């Protein structure tokens, strides 16, 4: 019969061979076997946090491997800090990493501990970026290297950079992570030139294991010497298999001010776009933020804010902070009335388009009445406006078919609507004035004017 030590040695080897480095560092490597009797393995974690992590993520894997080694009847129980024998073997550390590097980590200086993958709300607009960021964090230097995330300000790029850094430092404590903005990088570069400490600058940036740089669009206007520095820093890290993650407000293809050779290297990795969140994601963000801050946010307030703020997560989250301040100041609960009274400068109202809204906008634009546009008169100005209204309904309202539009316009045949829409499509390719009118009406209806 195998001894407990032999059982644990085989099980550890099996777990190590069936887990990633991140899984091992995140909890599996710190486990130890406390007891094995009556087909029950009692395994200890060093603390409650580690136990919860193993229980939530890795217990099925441990049970599966134990049953393969010892039989299907084996069960696994977890406990915290019991027993003083069979200390876990040291977690393997890369040969070029020393304890002194851990002491020089920038963890306390730059990374925001609140910005993690758990606190990042995922939606259709950011799902790919979040998945890529998590993969880069779980397998630094091996998945998506370099990784560049781009999109407008306030959509979560910085949050994902911090999440990567926090994940790596939690699960790979011997790897050095550095998060900087492009402005900080530039200031360090200038200071190194002024103080003649370029060698120290090289060591600071080129000896990290994970480099996270925010807002690289600000590199465009910098001098050639700075571009040389960032290029060689990139080359050094990438050639050594170190992870590089960057963010920008535009795709590298649109960053004409970067060196061409640097841009081409960025395009060799994964470039992923973060779009503005849809309504459901905005509502989820508001609920997540309010729960995190212990605030009761009524559903009507949540939906009112989500309809007004469509393209900036920071403004969404900031609205909750403002509401809490006004609620505390006036000693009243948060309500729709309070929000509408005090958040007057928040975003803008998102108009839910309906056919009657479009028809009225077209009638007003051409100085006609709604009845004229809907009616059967064949005067040339009326026919043109009628065709424009049909075209806009078809173009802006995806769920309206030709027969549905025909019923709106005095029960006309749907072939009449098809002919009108196709006629407008042809005309705007050659008639600049009509194209301008269509664009103006579209912007007005979508709340952009």
pLDDT of residue 121: 84
Half-sphere exposure at residue 70, Cβ-oriented, CA atoms within 13 angstroms = 27
Q: What confidence score (pLDDT) does residue 352 get?
A: 62
Per residue in 392-422, pLDDT (tens digit) is 998 888 678 888 898 888 777 888 889 999 9
Statement to judge: residues 123 and 177 lie in one domain: yes
Q: Measured between alpha carbons, how far is 278 from 170 in angstroms, rounded to an integer?
A: 31
Q: How far is CA 44 from the centre of its chain?
A: 35
Phi, psi of 278 (to 5 degrees): -75, 175
Tell me if 349 is assigned to some domain: no
- 261 pLDDT exceeds 90? no
Contact 445, 351 (CB under 8 A): yes
Alpha-carbon distance 211 to 304, whole Å? 39
pLDDT at position 322 over 60: yes
If one compares 444 and 133, the residue with the highest pLDDT of the two is 133
Q: Which of 273, 296, 330 is the last residue of a domain?
A: 273
Contact 396, 442 (CB under 8 A): yes
Are residues 129 and 168 both part of a single domain? yes
Region 384-397: mean pLDDT is 90
- Is 44 in a helix, a strand, or coil? strand
Q: Is the pLDDT of residue 88 over 50?
A: no
Report residue 320 as tokens. Answer: 């909750």
Q: How far apart are CA 321 and CA 49, in angstroms?
A: 30
The reply to whether 264 and 283 lie within a common domain is no
Total domains in the chain come to 4
Give residue-wise pLDDT tens across range 162-179.
999 999 888 887 888 999
Percent of the chain with pLDDT over 70: 89
Q: CB of 366 within 8 A of CB of 381?
A: yes
Q: Is the pLDDT of residue 358 over 90?
A: yes
Q: Is the domain of 139 the same as that of 51? A: no
The DSSP element (H or E) to which 177 belongs, if any, is strand 177-181
**Mean pLDDT calculated for residue range 220-224:** 78
Burial pattern 279-305, b for ≥16 Cβ within 10 A else e, equals eebbbbbbbebbeeeeeebeeebbebb
Report strand pairing: 270-273 vs 147-150: parallel
User: For 13-29, what is the mean pLDDT?
Assistant: 77
Q: 196: which DSSP letter?
A: T
Kindly report the pTM of this predicted structure: 0.55
Query: What SS3 class is residue 348?
Result: coil
Residues 268 and 145 placed together within one structural domain of the fold: yes
Q: Specify whether 236 is located in the same domain as 144.
A: yes
């Amino acid at each position: 019969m195998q001894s407990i030590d032999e059982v644990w040695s085989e099980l550890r080897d099996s777990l190590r061979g069936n887990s990633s480095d991140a899984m091992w560092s995140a909890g599996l490597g710190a486990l130890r076997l406390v007891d094995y009797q009556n087909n029950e393995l009692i395994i200890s974690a060093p603390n409650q946090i580690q136990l919860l992590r193993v229980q939530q993520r890795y217990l099925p894997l441990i049970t599966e491997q134990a049953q393969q080694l010892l039989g299907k009847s084996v069960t696994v129980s977890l406990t915290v800090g019991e027993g003083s024998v069979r200390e876990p073997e040291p977690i393997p550390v890369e040969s070029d990493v020393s304890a002194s590097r851990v002491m020089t980590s920038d963890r306390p200086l730059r990374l925001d501990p609140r910005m993690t993958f758990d606190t990042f709300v995922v939606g259709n607009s950011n799902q790919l970026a979040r998945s890529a960021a998590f993969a880069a964090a779980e397998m630094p230097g091996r998945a998506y290297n370099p990784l560049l995330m781009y999109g407008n300000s306030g959509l979560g790029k910085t949050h994902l950079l911090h999440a990567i850094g926090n994940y790596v430092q939690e699960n790979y404590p011997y790897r050095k992570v550095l998060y900087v903005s492009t402005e900080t990088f530039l200031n360090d570069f200038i200071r190194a030139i002024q103080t003649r400490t370029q060698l120290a600058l090289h060591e600071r940036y080129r000896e990290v294991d994970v480099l996270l740089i925010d807002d690289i669009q600000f590199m465009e206007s910098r001098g050639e010497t700075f571009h040389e520095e960032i290029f060689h820093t990139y080359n050094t890290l990438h050639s050594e298999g170190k992870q590089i993650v960057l963010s920008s407000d535009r795709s590298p293809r649109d960053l004409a001010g970067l060196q061409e050779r640097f841009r081409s290297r960025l395009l060799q990795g994964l470039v992923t776009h973060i779009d503005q969140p849809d309504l459901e994601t905005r509502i989820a963000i508001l609920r997540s933020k309010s729960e995190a801050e212990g605030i009761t946010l009524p559903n009507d307030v949540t939906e009112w804010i989500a309809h007004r703020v469509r393209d900036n997560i920071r403004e969404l989250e900031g609205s909750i902070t403002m509401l809490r301040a006004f609620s505390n100041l006036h000693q009243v609960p948060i309500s729709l009335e309070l929000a509408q009274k005090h958040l007057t400068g928040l975003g803008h109202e998102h108009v839910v388009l309906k056919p009657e809204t479009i028809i009225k906008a077209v009638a007003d634009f051409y100085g006609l009445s709604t009845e004229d546009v809907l009616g059967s008169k064949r005067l040339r100005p009326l026919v043109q406006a009628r065709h424009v209204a049909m075209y806009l309904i078809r173009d802006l309202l995806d769920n309206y078919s030709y027969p549905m539009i025909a019923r709106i316009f005095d029960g006309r045949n749907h072939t009449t609507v098809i002919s009108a829409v196709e006629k407008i499509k042809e005309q705007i390719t050659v008639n600049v004035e009509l194209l301008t009118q269509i664009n103006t009406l579209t912007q007005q209806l979508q709340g952009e004017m």
